[in-house]
Amino acid sequence: MIFLDHLINGLSLGSIYAIIALGYTMVYGIAKMLNFAHGDVIMIGAYIAFCGLQYWGIPPVLAILLAMVFCTLLGVTIEGFAYRPLRQATSLAVLITAIGMSYLLQNIALMIWGANPKSFPTTFINGSNIRIGQLNISSATLITIVANIVIMVTLTLFTSKTKLGKAMRCVSEDRGAAELMGINVNRTISLTFAIGSALAAVAGVLLCSSYPILQPTTGSMPGIKAFTAAVFGGIGSIPGAMLGGILLGVIEIFGKAYISTELGDAIVFAVLIIVLLVKPAGLLGKPMREKV
């Protein structure tokens, strides 16, 4: 029973990592950049939802929608202002800019909402906890896992069936060719950021529903872990992000439970290293073929 308990927790944590990792992997696939600020967009999304629920008393669904809209606008603005001018620059330069953006978001949040941690209201997601025998599954956990599946399915359908989705895949395969085929690259990239950021808002709400502490640094560690999850699963691959996220969550919980709580993070990173040594492009990643 305890094993199942840990498994469910792992799936829940993993689902959150998966949703965050989706944002990283989509942006990487299309813009070939690591958006370090992604973790902090999550934090902003959570804060907006918090304000909605706590200060403006709007119903939960509306609060989440508000967070999604806000984050979408935020993501597109960041892309347009800070990343687009650097399209031609080295990946390192873009990385540094993304890091700067991450610090910027954290400090703006600090200025607006202060350093005191807020407790994210979980009453709206509360319902009965489901009890199967001795197992206790909280409603937050259940909703997280379901949300993850829904998002994955929607995204896969979107990229394979819709025109915009296919355009996204084109641009990530070969930007030059896509442009020649008449695809508006700038708009497609902005769309990708928009979707990624909207997902970040959802991830933020789910993260804070399971772990109800909200402070400006809340998005930082989950961001790094989700980033490793995306690479673990194969960066640029949507199913890879999902797989990587879930596996990482499960490994983390099991590592803490059966090996050592102090070394939980170390175990996660060690597994990542081992997998990458065996499969250098990640679990589902395509090995890069270099043209000589």
Partner 1 sequence: MKKLIALLLALALTLTVCAALAEEPVVLKIAHIGPTTGAAALYGLATQHGAEIAVDEINAAGGKYQIELITEDDEHNVEKVINAYNAALDAGAQMILGSTTSKPCEAAGAQGYVDRVFFLTPSASSTAVIEDKDNVFQVCFTDPNQGSASAQYIADHKLGTKIAVIYNNADVYSTGIRDTFVEKAAEMGLEIVSEETFTDETTDFTVQVGKAQEAGAEIVFLPMYYTPASLILKTASDKNYKPIFFGVDGMDGILSVEGFDTSLAEGVMLLTPFVATSEDEKVKSFVAKYQEKFNETPIQFAADAYDGIYILIAAAEKAGITAEMAPEEACDLLIAAMKEIQVEGLTGSMTWDESGAVTKTPMAATIVNGVYVFED
Partner 2 sequence: MTKAKRKRLIYNLVTYALVIAAYIILQNMIGAKTISRSLKGLLVPICAWIIMAVSLNLVIGFSGELSLGHAGFMSIGAYTGAIISGWLMAAFDMQDPTLRLVLAIAGGGIVAGIFGVLIGIPVLRLRGDYLAIVTLAFGEIIRNLVNVLYVGTADGQLHFAFLNKKLPADVTMLVDGAKGAVKIKPISTFTVGFVLVMITLIVVLNLVNSRAGRAIQATRDNRIAAESMGVSVTKYKMMAFVTAAVLAGMAGALYGLNSSTVVPTQFTFNQSINVLVFVVLGGLGNVLGSVISATFLTVLPEVLREFADYRMLVYAVVLILVMIFTNNPLIRSVFGRAVAPVKGLFRGKKNSVSGGEA
Least distance from C-beta 41 to partner 2, angstroms? 15
Task: Look at the block and give the residue holding tokens 């030059």.
Answer: 176
- Cα distance between residue 240 and residue 193, in whole Å: 19
Neighbours of 174 (CB within 10 A): 11
Work out whether 253 is an interface residue with partner 2 (CB under 8 A): no
- Cα distance between residue 114 and residue 127, in whole Å: 31
Q: Tell me which of partner 1, partner 2, none is bound by residue 213, counting a contact when its beta carbon lies within the kind-specific cut-off of 5 to 8 angstroms.
A: partner 1
DSSP codes, 84-113: GGGTTS-HHHHHHHHHHHHHHHHHHHHHHH
Least distance from C-beta 32 to partner 1, angstroms? 29
Stretch that binds partner 1, among 143-151, 193-201, 211-219, 237-245 (CB under 8 A): 211-219
x-or-dash string of contact with partner 2, 64-103, rule CB under 8 A: ------------------x--xx-xxxxxx-xxx-xxx-x
Least distance from C-beta 105 to partner 2, angstroms? 8
Q: Which of 174, 166, 171, 214 is nearest to 53 (CA)?
A: 214
10: which 2 tokens? 């792992």
**Near partner 1 in 79-118, by CB under 8 A:** 110, 114-118
For 257, which DSSP code? Answer: I
x-or-dash string of contact with partner 2, 272-291, rule CB under 8 A: xx--xx--xxx-----x-x-
Least distance from C-beta 164 to partner 1, angstroms? 35
- Asked if residues 229 and 242 have their Cβ atoms less than 8 Å apart, the reply is no
x-or-dash string of contact with partner 2, 5-34, rule CB under 8 A: -----------------------x-----x
